[in-house]
C-alpha cells in the first residue's frame, strides 16, 4: 500500500478545512498557535515511515500524554490500578466535577482529567524523580532523546488550572490521592506540557501496535494483554465524550489532546499521528479527525 501517496491525497483534501475549529484559548500559551498548521505521519511495525506537512514540527501534546502515564502506571500497579480509576466512557466533559462527586472520588476512566490526576499520583509515588524519569520513558518510546517539556505551557496551565485544582482536592477528600495536591498537579501539568511532533507520536505509540514491544529499545513495555486493554480504553475513552463519534467515523483506538494532536493505532500494522490546532466542540482536532477518517477510508483498514 502506498501510504505516502495516501497521505498526500489527504493533505490536499483537508486543505479547504484549514483553519477549522477554534484553537484552545483557556491555556494561554496555546492560543497563539496558527490554526493553518497541518501535519501527519505514519509509522509501520515493519520500520517504514511516511510524512506530510508539518509532521516534524513540535506541539503541545496535552492529554495524549495520559496514554504514556497509564502505560507506565500499569507497569507498576498491574490490575490493582483499576481499584482507583474506572474503565468506562465518561459521557461528560473531560473536566467534569459532577461525575466525580456522583461516583465518590473514583474517576470514570484514566483519560479524563480526574483519572489522569490519580494516575499521576501513582507515578509520583513510584518514581524517585518523577519528571526526568517520565520524560526518559517517553523519549525511549519515541526513539528521540531530544523531546522536552515546555515550562511556559506548564506554568500557563497552572495559572488557569482552578478546575484541576478543585478536582485534585476533591480526590484527596476521598483518599484517592496519596501525595500532596500541589505535587500531583505539578507533575500533571509537566507531562501535559511535553512538546512532540507527529513523527515522535507515531514512533512513540508503536509499542501499542506491536503487542507492547518497543522496537526502538527492544523492550517489552506492556504484556500483550495489557496492551489490548490500553488500546480498548483509547477506543472507548480516548477522545473525551466524542469517543462514539470517533469510533464510528475513524474506527481506530486513538487519543487526542487540546493542542490539536491525535494519534491512532492499527494493531499489528501501524500508528498514525495527525496535528491541526483547530478544535471542534468536543475538544478534538477538527481537520485531524477528518484526516484520520480519510485514512481509514482510503486504506480500507480499521479495527472493524
Complete DSSP assignment for 155-210: HHHHHT-HHHHHHHHHHHHTT---S-HHHHHHHHHHHHTEEE-HHHHHHHTHHHHT
Any idea which residue has 514540527 for its cell? 57
Q: What's the pLDDT at 240?
A: 83
Grid cell in block for residue 48:
517504514
pLDDT higher than 70, residue 93: no
| CB atoms closer than 10 angstroms to residue 175 | 9
By percentage, how much of the chain surpasses pLDDT 70?
A: 98
Residue 43 to residue 65: CA distance in whole angstroms: 19
Q: Is residue 170 part of a domain?
A: yes
The mean per-residue pLDDT over the stretch 183-187 comes to: 98
Q: Is residue 37 part of a domain?
A: yes
Interacting residues of 166 by C-beta distance below 8 A, sequence separation 6+: 97
Q: Is residue 99 part of a domain?
A: yes
The mean per-residue pLDDT over the stretch 44-62 comes to: 97
Q: What are phi and psi of 103, to 5 degrees?
A: -100, 20
By percentage, how much of the chain surpasses pLDDT 90?
A: 83
- Are 274 and 40 a contacting pair, CB within 8 Å? yes
Residue 226 to residue 228: CA distance in whole angstroms: 5
Any idea which residue has 494532536 for its cell? 261
Residue 149 to residue 151: CA distance in whole angstroms: 6
Q: Is residue 111 part of a domain?
A: yes
Query: H or E segment at 6?
Result: helix 3-14
Kindly tell me the burial class for residue 163, based on how many C-beta atoms sit within 10 Å of its own C-beta (0-12, 13-18, 19 or more).
middle
pLDDT higher than 80, residue 91: no
Average pLDDT across the chain, whole number: 94
Interacting residues of 2 by C-beta distance below 8 A, sequence separation 6+: none
Q: Is residue 232 part of a domain?
A: yes
Residue 132 to residue 95: CA distance in whole angstroms: 27
Domain that holds residue 135: 3-299
Grid cell in block for residue 76:
507498576
The count of structural domains within the chain is 1
Residue 196 to residue 271: CA distance in whole angstroms: 15
- Find, among 73, 90, 66, the residue nearest to 125 by Cα: 73
Q: Is residue 174 part of a domain?
A: yes
Helices (H) and strands (E) in the chain, counts: 13, 10
- We report the CATH number of the domain holding residue 17 as 3.40.710.10
Q: Is residue 304 part of a domain?
A: no
pLDDT higher than 90, residue 140: yes
pLDDT higher than 90, residue 166: yes
Kindly tell me the burial class for residue 129, based on how many C-beta atoms sit within 10 Å of its own C-beta (0-12, 13-18, 19 or more).
exposed
Amino acid at each position: 500500500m502506498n501510504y505516502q501517496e495516501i497521505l498526500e491525497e489527504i493533505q490536499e483534501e483537508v486543505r479547504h478545512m484549514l483553519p477549522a475549529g477554534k484553537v484552545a484559548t483557556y491555556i494561554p500559551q496555546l492560543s497563539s498557535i496558527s490554526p493553518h498548521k497541518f501535519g501527519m505521519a505514519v509509522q509501520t511495525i515493519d520500520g517504514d515511515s511516511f510524512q506530510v506537512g508539518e509532521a516534524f514540527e513540535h506541539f503541545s501534546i496535552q492529554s495524549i500524554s495520559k496514554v504514556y502515564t497509564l502505560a507506565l502506571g500499569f507497569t507498576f500497579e498491574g490490575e490493582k490500578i483499576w481499584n482507583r480509576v474506572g474503565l468506562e466512557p465518561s459521557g461528560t466533559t473531560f473536566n467534569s466535577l459532577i461525575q466525580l462527586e456522583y461516583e465518590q472520588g473514583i474517576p470514570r476512566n484514566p483519560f479524563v482529567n480526574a483519572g489522569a490526576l490519580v494516575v499521576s499520583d501513582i507515578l509520583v509515588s513510584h518514581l524517585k524523580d518523577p519528571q526526568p524519569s517520565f520524560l526518559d520513558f517517553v523519549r525511549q518510546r519515541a526513539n528521540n532523546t531530544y523531546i522536552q517539556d515546555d515550562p511556559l505551557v506548564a506554568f500557563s496551565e497552572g495559572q488557569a488550572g482552578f478546575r484541576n485544582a478543585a478536582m485534585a482536592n476533591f480526590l484527596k477528600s476521598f483518599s484517592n490521592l496519596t501525595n500532596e495536591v500541589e505535587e500531583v498537579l505539578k507533575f500533571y501539568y509537566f507531562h501535559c506540557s511535553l512538546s512532540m511532533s507527529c513523527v515522535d507520536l507515531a514512533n512513540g505509540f508503536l509499542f501499542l501496535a506491536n503487542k507492547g514491544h518497543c522496537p526502538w529499545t527492544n523492550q517489552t513495555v506492556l504484556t500483550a494483554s495489557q496492551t489490548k486493554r490500553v488500546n480498548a480504553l483509547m477506543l472507548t475513552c480516548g477522545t473525551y465524550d466524542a469517543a462514539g463519534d470517533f469510533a464510528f467515523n475513524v474506527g481506530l483506538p486513538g487519543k487526542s489532546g487540546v493542542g490539536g494532536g491525535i494519534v491512532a493505532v492499527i494493531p499489528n500494522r501501524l500508528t498514525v499521528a495527525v496535528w491541526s490546532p483547530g478544535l471542534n466542540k468536543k475538544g478534538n482536532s477538527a481537520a485531524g479527525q477528518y484526516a484520520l477518517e480519510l485514512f481509514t477510508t482510503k486504506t480500507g483498514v480499521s479495527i472493524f
